[in-house]
Structure formats: structure tokens, C-alpha cells
Structure 1
Amino acid sequence: MHIPPEAFFLPPATTGTLQQRIRGMVTQGILAGRFRAGQKMPSSRGLAAHLGISRITVTLAYGDLVASDYLTSRGRSGYFVSDNAPRAAEFPDAPPRHDGVDFAGLTGRRFSSLARVERPQDWEAYPYPFIYGQADAVLFDHQNWRQCALRALGRRDFAALTSDYYEQDDPLLIEQVLRTILPRRGIAAREDEVLLTLGAQNALWMAATVLLGPGKRAVVENPGYPGWRGILATTGATVVPVDVDDGGLPEHLPGADVVFTTASHQCPTNATMPVERRVALLAAAAREGFVIVEDDYEFEMSFLKPVAPALKSLDQGGRVIYAGSFSKSMFPGLRLGYLVGPASFIAEARGLRAMVLRHPPGHIQRTVAYFLAQGHYDALINRMRAAFKRRRQVMAEAIATEGLAVAGQGGVGGSSFWMRAPEGVDTEALALALRAEGVLIEPGRAFFDPVAAPGNFYRLAYSSIGPQRIPEGIARIGRALR
């Protein structure tokens, strides 16, 4: 039985080369059971004419499918679906499903009900996306990243790509973190004092899980990183929010077992903790016996003046656990971060990690290691700093022109402004209204202690919007507020 050319079509929204799309059509048809073993494929000439593409493209796709054993070639007879082609499992039709368990009541919605910053999945479709943490394709070094990824996929790196490291990490990446990343923060560490994680969120969860439990107390910044509340809720510890000022956390803190801070770029106000206050915080930790978890998530984006030394670099007593990430300096989809701390703490965190994920994917680790070793990372950071400095200047001028109120912008750089709308403005409603204008902002309520969270704050980021679009986007925000 012949498969007619009309059984194939190229949806306009699909991605990939024509050859890849043809391969996808054939393999999906075989796996779905529409095309059966022994059926004859359309001739390359006939399928090319039907799809309106070059015959050589179809011929190359067919040849690739033969190599993968989806098709077989029979001399002058043409191409046929191979008897050895993969087949989808066949199951009887599933009976109608009735959800008989009230999982919302069973779980108490402990995690799904936590406040979070809402962002539309299709944020790239909006012309004015002032949302935080997303990458700009214009700035990223696609060519060198691709070369590093291809090298990591090569035969010489087959073991790094495919091996189970068990509880360990790629030694090449650990070496680069020790030599390239940590020294620029003034941190000296050994191999047994570093653990790779699936991003900073995963690093903070592991630190909190290892250090806290029922009966313990954790101090967090208010406003602060929204993910902390969800992380700490799983530990059973008492969470104590402390209001920040222009220097971040104040010097005098309530009693705590663990203090969480974003000292370099306070989230979301962008305040930088003065060195004197950092020294005082470390002295208090030694005196009162608490541990500090330092989330240093945006230290690379310091372009207005030199960044202050990390808390960890000033730590002489081993009381600071340092969490870093490549999400903001490279791209968030990378999901790669690290913890730095005393070897005894890292050993415990490594044991926890082994229970849930073993280690981050080997190919990702090796690709990042090459990207760092060949200097591409530093070149990328320099390009991003220059671009962000320009965008920040344009945004500051636009904000001043519109008369909008800045609640926090920091003094060393970063990638966002922390804003305050007039009293009585609900920025969650404002954000919804602005979406109709093509503008995305981040309401600020999720950053505050939910017991008394003001509704008139919001965040404007410039990491994923070009300078040419910033003035008009800010103007639309100004008009909406007026």
C-alpha cells in the first residue's frame, strides 16, 4: 500500500530546517501508527512537488531516515517503512477517569498557594517586557556557546557526557569555579568546599534543609526574595522577616539560627550592604552563634563602581554559606549554580543532593567549563555590563521624564529598578491593565511578608528589553498611572 503525498504537510509554526521537519513528519507518522511497516513512501519527486520544496531536500531526509532504520531503500522500487522501525506501544482505550481524591485538601496546598511573581509564558510576544531575569538573545554569545557544546558532545568527552558522577561533580567545572568565579569575589576555597546545584533556588533549598528544622529561627529580608518563604516553609522553622533599609539588613537583628541575605544586590531594592555593616553582621554571627546564607545572585552586574567584597570573603569563622548562580550572568534555562561553605557543611549538602538528583547533567557542566576556560564567559559579562549600563541610563531618564517614583535602584549596577506607585494603586491590577498595552511589569506584593504586604510597589527590569523600546514602555506606564 502506498502512502500518498497528501498525507504530509508542513505546518508554518514548526521549527528546524526543511530536512529536519520532513524527518519529523515521517517519524511521528510511524510512531503514531499511521504509517505501517512495508508501506511505500511517496517518491522524492512527488513529495517535493506536493510540499513545494527542492527534491534534494527530500532525498537527504529520506537518506537520514534510512540510516536511522525508519525507512529502507529497495533499489529502483523506492523507499518503504522499515520492518525494524520503532513502534509506539499499543494499549486499549483508557476508561473515563474520575478524580476521586481531593489532593488540595489532602496536601493543604502548602506549596501551590505560596505567593510568587507571576510572568506570562509568552513574555517575548510583548513589545515592552520589563521583567526580571530573562536573557536577551542580542547579547548572548551563541556561536561560542555552540562550539563549546559541540566539543562537550565529542568522543573525547563521552565519559563526561554519559557517566554517572554519583555524588561528585565535573572536576573541570569545579576547577573553573575555583579559579575564575570565586576569586573575583575575594573567595578562596578548596574542591571539597564547593557543590554544584540546579541553580540558586536549589542551592538555597539545600542550605535551608541542612541548616534548619522545627524549633529553629530564620531571619529573612523584607521585602526579599519570594522563593525564601516557600523554601523555609518546608523546614518547619520560624520565619522572622526584618525590614531592610538603604544598606540592606540592619545591624541589629532578632535572635536567629540562620540569617538569609542578598548583601551585594538586595532583592528587590538593589541596596548594597556597606562593608562596615558586613563586618558588624559577621561579628554578630560569631557572638550570637548564627549562620549566614549569602545569596550573591547578581554580583557580576556591577558596572557603576567596583563591587564590595562578598560576605564570604570576609568570613574568618566559617559561618557564611555562599550561594551563586549562572542564571543571571548567562541564561536562566541553564539551571546551574553552586554552594560554597566549610567542607563539613558541603559533605552534608552533597548527601542531601544525592537523595534527590545526584548531580547536574554532565553535558551542561562540561559545556560551561569550556565556556569559562576559553574566556567566553568574561567577554559575555563585559558585553552585558556595557549594555546594561546603557539601558539603565535610558530607563533612569525615562522614569524622570514621566515623574515615576523610584523606591530603590542601588549604587553599583544590577538589572532593575524597584518602584513605588502612589498610595492606593494596586500594582497587580496595574500589571493586568498594562498587558493590554503590551507592557509587562512585576507587582511587588510577593516580595513582602504576606502579613502586611503593601500593594503599591513594582519592579522594572531591563535585562530583556532593548534601549530603543524603553522610553515608550515607561511612557505607557506613566499614562496608566495617571
Structure 2
Amino acid sequence: MTRVQTIEASALAPLLQLDRTSSLSLQDQIRRGFFNAIGSGVLPAGVRLPSSRKLADRLGVSRNTALIAYQTLIADGHLVSRERSGVFVATDMQRYQGCSMPVIGPRSGPVLSTVSARLNESVFARSTHRFPSDWQTNRYPFIEGRYDRSLFPIFEWREASRLALAAQEVETWSVDSGEADDDALIEEIRTKLLPRRGIIARPDELLITVSEQQALHLITRLFASEGTVAGVEEPGLPEMRALFEGRKARLTFLPVDDEGLIVDDKLKGCDIVHVTPSRQRPTAVTLSSARRAELLDMAAQNDFLIIEDDFECELNYLDDPIPSLRAMEGGDRVIYVASLSKVLEPGVGLGFMVAPPEVITAARRLRSLTTGRPSPNNQRAAAFFLSLGHYDSMLRRLNKVFEERLIALRDALNHYRPLSIAVAPVRGGTTYWVRGEEGLQTDKLMADAQARGVLIEAVEQYFAPGNAPTNMFRLGVTSIQSDRIRDGIAALSEAMHAVSKDGPPPSSQQATLSGEEITKTLGGVTLHYSTVYGEPCTIKLEPDGNMIGRAGSAGEDKDTGRWWVEGEKWYRQWQRWAFTEVLGFRISVDGQHLSWLDDSGRVVDSAVIMAPSV
């Protein structure tokens, strides 16, 4: 007679370690521990387990907790109960174990060599973001695309998911309807989201995708092949370049400036053009209305298609949004791609595309050959999320949070003005594209900044090989709280000054004014200069020590303060601006050009002196 192996409760304890701070119940933790131990073969088929009482005593839980865990495992087929004998690991678990492939090490040989030789990694080698895996351990992570987890609408999404799992809803979305998308979600996007971009679309002009990136993949598969001339922004998305290169298309790099894509003769030879007009990726500038019209006219004249990647179209809080290309005259040759908010992407991951019905039909057939349609359950939950107003509420909150963070970043950059920097003008979004002074080595800056707990993003990956400038970097606010931004930019400024010591000497070695000369020169004048984010600013210095500041294209941002001279330095303090701090500088004047200098003689900022009005 074969002796039955019995395992003692003491031997099970290390396999069933319980965490009472976990979100999982104790019953679920016990079940998970047993399942893992059985699946890995640690608890072999047929072994007898301790009674629920003994298990409960050893684990320090109630007997009911252990008993219910056992009963659930039995009901699921992982354990079996034999009358007057006890509880055993089910013998048919060998069948489940057979579904798992054993982990083996790599073997050398001709077969593996042949497989490896055929692997083509070049099409995606430059498409990954270069953030350290432990980025969250850094106090000042100015990186884009890694979202603060507190922004995810947990309770609202939970409600939408609960409603989607109601019996009558399951009966609707669980019916095998081929590759058709959820009608409720299509209707919500068609009637609520698209009209905000000026787009009117029929249901057969919409396709739901797993993500925005999947939509781009489907489009390149349908419209790009060997010999296709694909226009991509420069700088632009490395993922987009990789998709086109994977189709053996020939790339044309289209330069971008502070108004977005430059519309010129480089577009004439293109068959298809990818553009990010709402929030250019990666510079975050917005394609102007005039250039949008020019781009559509050129597309019609030269018969090329446009992929409109409407990234962060919802985050417009510094200016009014511009209608999408798809909504403008000539937009019939535009394929529109967008996604639900990026904050939802980690848990939801739904995007959509708008195109003529024939294109949507072809894209749906292609989608069925790869991932198939996105989860019907997720689609229905997203439909409830939109219909209940949760999406709009979330957007209002995100706009408020990101506006606060972006303005905090803008003001900190303008205040500390680390060396000579400028940022591209933006209408909203979550990033600033920063241009440093000539000679700045971003790789050295990144290393020094990270040592101070500051993460910034390099920009090499956004340019064609060999074209990346060395003095640019990107700052994002999706993963850093507002109250840390100022200190983070102060630390970044210190890093820039530290790195610059290895570079050229300070840009100004001219003589500075004495205290008496400062008072005589500046009393009653108006200073004109530009903020780091490109807006004009004037400061009127009254002879009595008061000063009046106006910033913005229409002088809409106003503040007052005072200025004075102590020793050989000029001081000023605003009531609101510059964090109301008292700051002092040495002054250098060359004709009408004034420079503010720090104690080391480095130019901090400059302005043009306008003579006092008579």
C-alpha cells in the first residue's frame, strides 16, 4: 500500500506568508500562496494538507479564514476533500502544470544562431524612452509620460467597471459580434469627444484601438511600403520613424519651429505625412492656424495623405484650442488619431481613429489579424465613464493640476534663469522644450543633475541620427508635484552652473557700474526684455524706487514692486513675481543694452534701456 505524503502546517508557513497591510484579504493571500506552490510543483499532486484548524493556528488567522480558503480552492479544482481522510492536492493538477513550459537557459547551436541572425532590432532600437527604472526614487523627476498615480480616477473608473459587469450589460457586450466595436463607446466618442475638435463623423468612420500607438501601426501597415516617401517631423517621434522604417519607407525629415511644422517644398515629394499639430511631440508647440491651412492646401496640390496625431489635444489651458486638421476644409485626406486621456492609459489603454469608411473597414480587418478588437468589457466601461460625466470631471481636474504645474515650472525657469535658456512657446500640455546656451553638453548636465535628484530628458532620440543638438533637453510635469518644482529648478540651475565651469568663460567681462552710476542711469527708465518663455515684458523704474511691470503680448500680467541700490549692486523685489524674493545683481551697460550679472560676472539676464519720457 502506497504511503500518502503529509505536509505539516509548520512547513507551509514559509509558503503562505501573510501581509496584513495588503489590499488582498487574508483568504485571498492563502489561496494565492497555495496556487503558486501547487503550480510550481513545491506541493506535488496527491500530498495531504494539514487540517484547517492546524493551518489557522500556525498562520495566526481564524479557522473560518482557513476553512473558506480551502473550500474555494476545492471548488476551483486545485484541492480535493476525501471523507475522513482530509484535504489533498488534486491529482489532476499535473494537467495544469503541463501547461507551463519549464524555464531553460539559452543553448548555443546552429538553430539558435539562425534565429538570432534573422532578428531585426534596428526598427525599434531608438524608440524607447531613456528613463532609469528607479525614476520614482529621484526627488525631482522632470520627465514626461510617467504619470503621478494619484491622478488616476480610481473610484470613478471602478463605478464604470461595475456597471459594465452588470448582468444585462454582460449579455450585451459578451455576445460574439466579430470585430465590431462597442456601439455605446462609439456613440460617446462620436457625439461628445470629436465635436470638441470640430469633427463630425458617422459610426462607420470610427475604429477603437488598443492605444494611439496601435492606430499608428495600423495606418503604416495600410499605407506605407517599400518606396513610400513618408514625411516625419524633425524633431519627432522615434516610434513613428520606426514604424515607417519597418515598412521600408523612405523618410523625409520635416523641420519644426515655434509655430510647429514648417510647410515648404520638402513636403512636395511625400506620399504620407505624420504631424502632431495640437501638441507637437516632443517640443509641445502648436501648429498655427495659417500653417494648418497651408498644409492642407499642399496636401491637395501634391496628393499626399496626412496622419493627424492629436496628442494632448484636451490640455489647452493657456490659450484657446485650434480646430483639428480633420475638421478643416480639405480634411477629407486626413486620418485622425487620438486616445482617451494618457492618465487612463496604464489601466485602460483605449485609442481611436477617424477616417473614411473604406479605410476603417480595412483597418478593422488588419486589426483582427493581430490583437483583435480591444476588450469589450473595457470598451463598455469607458462608455459608462464618458456617459456619467466622469471623463469631463477628470479633464477639468487634470487641466487644473497640469496648468498649476506648468506655470510653476515656467515661473521657476524665469526666476532662476539657469544660464542663457529659452523655452518653446506652448498653449498647454505637460512639457517644456528647453534650449540651452551654445556649448552646453546635455549629457554632462543630465549626470550632474541626477546626482542632485533631478531627472531631465535628453532629446537625441527625437532627431535623425547625427542631427541632435547637444544643448537641448526636455522638462515634463506629469510625475512631479507642484510644491517640488521650484526647488527642482533651483537644483537644476546649480547643475547647469557647475557643468558650465568646464566650458567657455562667462559671457561678459565688461566693467560694472558703481552704485552712484546705477542710480543715475536707471532712475526713470523703462526696461524691455523677454521672458524665458518668449513673452515680452517691460519694467518701468520710477525715480522714487517704485517699479511697474507688465508681461504678455498685451501686457495683461501686471505687478508692482520696488528697486534700490546698496553698495555696488542693484536690488529689486516684486509683490507677486519672482516668488517675491529680494534679489541683487551687478549692472553692466553698453549703449542701450543692460546686463544683470551675478557675483561671478556671468550674465543672468539682459534688457534694452528706453530713455525716460519727457
TM-score normalised by structure 1 residue count:
0.91
Q: Distance in 2 between matches of 1:273 and 1:182?
A: 19
Per the alignment, residue 97 of structure 2 pairs with 88
C-alpha change, 1:200 and 1:432, in structure 2 (3 Å) is farther
Give the alignment of 1:66-215 within 5 angstroms: 66-73=74-81, 79-83=87-91, 85=93, 87-89=96-98, 97-98=107-108, 100-101=112-113, 105-159=117-171, 162-215=174-227
Query: Alpha-carbon deviations, 1:255-282, whole Å to 9, x = none?
Result: 1111211111111111111212211211
Q: Distance in 2 between matches of 1:30 and 1:243?
A: 58
C-alpha change, 1:219 and 1:67, in structure 2 (3 Å) is same
Q: Distance in 2 between matches of 1:220 and 1:292?
A: 11
Q: Distance in 1 between matches of 2:37 and 2:204?
A: 50
* Correspondence for 1:8 among 9, 13, 35: 13
Q: Distance in 2 between matches of 1:170 and 1:382?
A: 26
Does residue 431 of structure 2 align to residue 421 of structure 1? no
Q: Higher strand proportion, which one?
A: 2
SS in 1 for 2:372: coil
Q: Distance in 1 between matches of 2:6 and 2:188?
A: 57
Q: Letter of the 1:67 partner, please give it.
A: A
Per the alignment, residue 477 of structure 1 pairs with 492
Contact 2:219-2:363 within 8 A present in 1 as well: yes
SS in 2 for 1:26: helix
Q: Distance in 2 between matches of 1:371 and 1:335?
A: 14
Per the alignment, residue 338 of structure 1 pairs with 352
User: Which is worse superposed, 80-89 or 449-458?
Assistant: 80-89
Q: Distance in 1 between matches of 2:108 and 2:391?
A: 51
SS in 2 for 1:244: strand
Q: Distance in 1 between matches of 2:65 and 2:490?
A: 49
Q: Distance in 2 between matches of 1:106 and 1:76?
A: 60
The structure with the larger Rg is: 2
Per the alignment, residue 384 of structure 2 pairs with 370
Q: After TM superposition, give the deviation of residue 97 of structure 1 in Å.
A: 2.2
SS in 2 for 1:239: strand
Structure 1: unaligned runs, 5 residues or longer:
none
Per the alignment, residue 22 of structure 1 pairs with 30
Q: Higher helix proportion, which one?
A: 1
Q: Distance in 1 between matches of 2:363 and 2:237?
A: 22
Q: After TM superposition, give the deviation of residue 365 of structure 1 in Å.
A: 1.3
* Correspondence for 2:479 among 464, 467, 479: 464
Contact 2:164-2:381 within 8 A present in 1 as well: yes
User: Which is worse superposed, 368-377 or 448-457?
Assistant: 448-457
Q: Letter of the 1:291 partner, please give it.
A: L
C-alpha change, 1:475 and 1:169, in structure 2 (3 Å) is same
User: Which is worse superposed, 292-301 or 438-447?
Assistant: 438-447
Contact 1:163-1:362 within 8 A present in 2 as well: no
Does residue 395 of structure 2 align to residue 381 of structure 1? yes
Q: Distance in 1 between matches of 2:84 and 2:57?
A: 20
Query: Alpha-carbon deviations, 1:41-84, whole Å to 9, x = none?
Result: 23444334433444443333223223323234457765433455
Contact 1:134-1:331 within 8 A present in 2 as well: no
Superposed CA RMSD = 2.7
Q: Distance in 1 between matches of 2:219 and 2:425?
A: 27
User: Which is worse superposed, 344-353 or 66-75?
Assistant: 66-75
Q: After TM superposition, give the deviation of residue 449 of structure 1 in Å.
A: 1.9
Q: Distance in 1 between matches of 2:49 and 2:206?
A: 55
Does residue 266 of structure 2 align to residue 257 of structure 1? no
Q: Distance in 2 between matches of 1:406 and 1:191?
A: 47
Per the alignment, residue 356 of structure 1 pairs with 370
Does residue 403 of structure 2 align to residue 398 of structure 1? no
C-alpha change, 1:228 and 1:371, in structure 2 (3 Å) is same
Contact 1:261-1:292 within 8 A present in 2 as well: yes
Query: Alpha-carbon deviations, 1:340-377, whole Å to 9, x = none?
Result: 11122222222322222221122221211111111111
Does residue 307 of structure 2 align to residue 293 of structure 1? yes
Give the alignment of 1:215-364 within 5 angstroms: 215-254=227-266, 255=268, 256-316=270-330, 318-364=332-378
Does residue 457 of structure 2 align to residue 442 of structure 1? yes
Contact 1:419-1:458 within 8 A present in 2 as well: yes
Per the alignment, residue 606 of structure 2 pairs with none
- How many aligned positions are there? 482
User: Which is worse superposed, 161-170 or 414-423?
Assistant: 161-170
Q: Distance in 2 between matches of 1:480 and 1:25?
A: 48
Q: After TM superposition, give the deviation of residue 114 of structure 1 in Å.
A: 2.8
Query: Alpha-carbon deviations, 1:432-476, whole Å to 9, x = none?
Result: 444444332211111112231113222111112111222222222
Q: Distance in 1 between matches of 2:316 and 2:101?
A: 57
Q: Distance in 2 between matches of 1:237 and 1:82?
A: 56
Q: Distance in 2 between matches of 1:162 and 1:336?
A: 18
C-alpha change, 1:406 and 1:193, in structure 2 (3 Å) is farther
Q: Distance in 1 between matches of 2:271 and 2:365?
A: 22
Structure 2: unaligned runs, 5 residues or longer:
498-614
Q: Distance in 1 between matches of 2:169 and 2:59?
A: 40
SS in 2 for 1:259: strand
